[in-house]
Amino acid sequence: MPRMSEQDVYAWMFQRSPVMAALFDSQGRFHNVSDALAERLGYEREAMIGRQPGEFMTPESRGQLDGELLPKLRRIGLVRNQPIDFCSATDERVSVMATALTDYDHAGAIVRTVAVYVEIGDAERIERKYRRLYRETPAMLHTVDESNCITAVSDHWLQKLGYTHRHEVLGRPIVDFIAPEDRNQVSREFRRRGASRELNVERRMLRKDGSQLDVVVSSITESSDGDGPVRLLVASKDMTERNRSERALRAALEENARLREELERERDYLREEVKVAMNFGRIVGTSAELQAMLRQIEAVASTPASVLILGESGVGKELIAHALHARGPRADQPFVKVNCASVPAELFESEFFGHVKGAFTGAVRDRIGRFQLANGGTIFLDEVGEIPIELQGKLLRVLQEQEFERVGEDITRKVDVRVIAATNRDLTQEVEAGRFREDLYYRLSVFPIHAPPLRERGDDVVQLAQHFLDRTVKDFGREPLALSQRDIDAIRGYDWPGNVRELKNVIERAVILSKGGILRLDLSAPQFAHRAPDRPVAADAEPVHEAPAADIEFRTEDQIRELVRDNLVRALTAANWRVSGKGGAAELLGIRPTTLSDRMRSMKIRRPAAAEDVA
């Protein structure tokens, strides 16, 4: 019998060994297998050599081998007691515990790998079954040993935290997967743990990509018969989406509450204001003084410049402010009015800038100030001369810096508003008397507009009276009334110290008191009373309102319209039918050329044929 070489001896010993073993080449294929392994699996040795071991395993073990065991083996060169299920030639499941060792060359490349398999009994097989169920359960489960290191995780746990293979997490401290702000709490829990349960503890875990996962954790400690705990079994429930939805809902509810509160305040401040038609159509009149003022409005409306409206009480300063806002770039933004004369001195700052709850006695809730309410739009400071001198500095700051603080709050807020102010005082005299800051005056009066009193507007008073009369009878549901010539003369002859406001009040009272379809201005105001012939009247007799005298002349609306038309034709004739330009009819009438053109169209006034031949 020929003598065997040492290598053959070792090969014979490996093959004859009563232990299930296998030798793998550098590619991980079977290089040799022991008789015990080939016999247990029911294959011939030659049928196994050169093939991958996964071909002889169950699908679950094949996935475990490729995804977990081989990477670990290549990384550290050793795996111990890893459960593997082979599939025999007769389709019998052969459960073993595998231990493998890898040999490397001087360059660090794998030369060979040897593996030894020990078949496990029924008890171990049952344990493996439950281990597999643990891994495959659709819940976030992990187990921590007495050193607070992870010993087992479920597939769902890996998926939720963004990991692919168990070797990425097994053996690592659990705090590696806890958000930094919760790590101290988790460490304290582990130090004091015993045979106890923790239910529904909120925690934040770290995913592989660094994002956080909100979870609710329940755990139970498994103790040995000895001194301390063996391991901690933990179940987690992902609450991230639920918490995100709750936060979004809470934010939406808070935003809705804030908007509702702001809308309620806007309603209190602005409900009547926003219903006002903000255009030149409510400024009635054709006098040269009024047209000059309208040209000023047209010039400054489109700019952000502050405007100071000067004029006597009742001339319509608020209407001018509305017109400035409506014809500017902020027309679709808020228009907020503050009547400075009606605000108590101690509440000026709160009225302008707002306050927070508890800032002073009576501040039972947060309040938005008028400047914040007007953000993006226009604020109208009516009777600005009434602002106390001690508050004028704060008003100057918000005009210059566009920022303010609420009363009782340290937060500086930015605001973007256009300021229109109005006063019937002579602010230059107020500055000289020390009652109004000079710097604030110059800041407000960038573009002053003088509103002419009614007594300086000529026949505008008649047009206004007719306008108020038509609107009042419509609003009050009365039959149409007309101004008599005597009424017109009386209106023209009166100085109207209360200006447009006084005229409106007189017309409304006259409509209320008039009966029988005849307007009675004499009943509305004593200055318009017509002297009647003296007649004895019984003490208990009913007052008798005599019909107007037959010699009183009336002009109907059509007659007044015809007078206006005739006046336009006269002006056009005087201007040789030239509408605009120097010496044109618009200049003669003191109105804009576009206004004259509109009236010519509405009254169907056309240039005569004879005039068309004139250059």
pLDDT over 90 for what percent of the chain?
22
In angstroms, the CA 68 to CA 58 distance is 15
- The rounded mean pLDDT for the chain is 82
Residue-wise pLDDT tens digits, 393-403: 888 988 888 88
pLDDT of 521: 83
In 3D space, the residue among 328, 329, 347 whose CA is nearest the CA of residue 338 turns out to be 347
418 pLDDT band (50/70/90 cuts)? very high
pLDDT of 116: 94
Residue-wise pLDDT tens digits, 496-536: 888 998 899 999 988 888 887 778 887 777 777 643 333 33
266 pLDDT band (50/70/90 cuts)? low
pLDDT at 284 over 50: yes
* Stretch 417-445: mean pLDDT: 92
pLDDT at 79 over 60: yes
DSSP string, 521-569: HHHH-GGGPPP-------TTPPP--PPPPTT--B--HHHHHHHHHHHHH
Residue-wise pLDDT tens digits, 141-184: 888 887 888 888 988 899 889 998 888 889 899 888 988 888 88
* Stretch 447-464: mean pLDDT: 91
pLDDT at 324 over 70: yes
> What are 326's two structure tokens?
């409506």
pLDDT of 109: 87
497 close to 311: Cβ distance less than 8 angstroms: no
Residues sharing a CB contact under 8 Å with residue 469, sequence separation 6 or more, in sequence order: 481, 483, 507, 511, 519
The structure tokens 């743990």 sit at: 193
DSSP state letter for 223:
E
pLDDT of 538: 38
- In the chain, count of helices (H) and strands (E)? 24, 19
pLDDT over 70 for what percent of the chain?
85
Residue-wise pLDDT tens digits, 103-119: 988 888 888 999 999 98
Residue-wise pLDDT tens digits, 522-577: 777 777 764 333 333 333 444 434 444 444 455 677 777 777 888 888 888 888 88
30 pLDDT band (50/70/90 cuts)? very high
pLDDT of 369: 86
The CA-atom distances, in angstroms, between 554 and each of 472, 487, 563 are: 20, 9, 13
379 pLDDT band (50/70/90 cuts)? very high
pLDDT of 274: 45
CA angle 192, 194, 195 (to 5 degrees): 155
Q: How deeply is 614 buried, as exposed, middle or buried, from its count of CB atoms within 10 A (0-12, 13-18, 19+)?
A: exposed
pTM beyond 0.85: the answer is no
> What are 550's two structure tokens?
């037959």
pLDDT of 56: 94
pLDDT at 614 over 70: no
pLDDT at 587 over 80: yes
* Stretch 366-387: mean pLDDT: 89
pLDDT at 308 over 60: yes
- Cα 211 from chain centre: 26
pLDDT at 48 over 60: yes
Residue-wise pLDDT tens digits, 192-207: 554 456 667 888 899 9
592 pLDDT band (50/70/90 cuts)? confident
> What are 32's two structure tokens?
């040799």
